[in-house]
Amino acid sequence: MVVSVDEKCLRLTDESGENGVLLGMRCRNCGVCVFGPATFCQSCTSPDLEEVELSAEGTLYSFTIVRVPPSGWPGPVPYVLGETELPEGPHVLAEVIDCAHDDLRVGMAVTLALETVGMDGIEGSERAVYKWRPA
């Protein structure tokens, strides 16, 4: 089994595809941290950035229930799209799973959940995706 991953955003810590950490870039000049790749700081424009591992726990900053998914969406509909604020500062947008819609609350604690999904047309290949679930 081959598990692929967006290596700028997520680092797997074993071969299951279900354990890993989110990656971000922190500015050595002003300390601002962003999720995913960056070539310069969005705050002070310094190019002096370092890669950092981000917390697996955050708080739900905002959410919406998606009833009309983007084309090719592989999961059930409707689904919850949540924006999670991490302690380091970045906001990370991803599906929220394992939570009844009535139980969703802004400010609730959520934790990173990795899942693997099959890749269309490529037998034996999966892709690791990150989601949030109630902590």
Peptide linkage before 87 cis (omega within 30 of 0): no
Q: Which residues on adjacent β-strands are paired with residue 134?
A: 110
Q: How many residues does the chain have?
A: 135
Asked if 50 interacts with Zn ion (CB under 5 A), we say no
Stretch that binds Zn ion, among 44-52, 54-62, 73-81, 102-110 (CB under 5 A): 44-52
Residue from 2, 6, 19, 44 touching Zn ion (CB under 5 A): that is 44
Alpha-carbon distances, residue 25 vs 39, 83, 95, 104, 125 (angstroms): 9, 18, 22, 29, 28
Asked if 23 interacts with Zn ion (CB under 5 A), we say no
Asked if 33 interacts with Zn ion (CB under 5 A), we say no
Asked if 27 interacts with Zn ion (CB under 5 A), we say yes
- Contact set with Zn ion (CB under 5 A): 27, 29-30, 32, 41, 43-44, 46
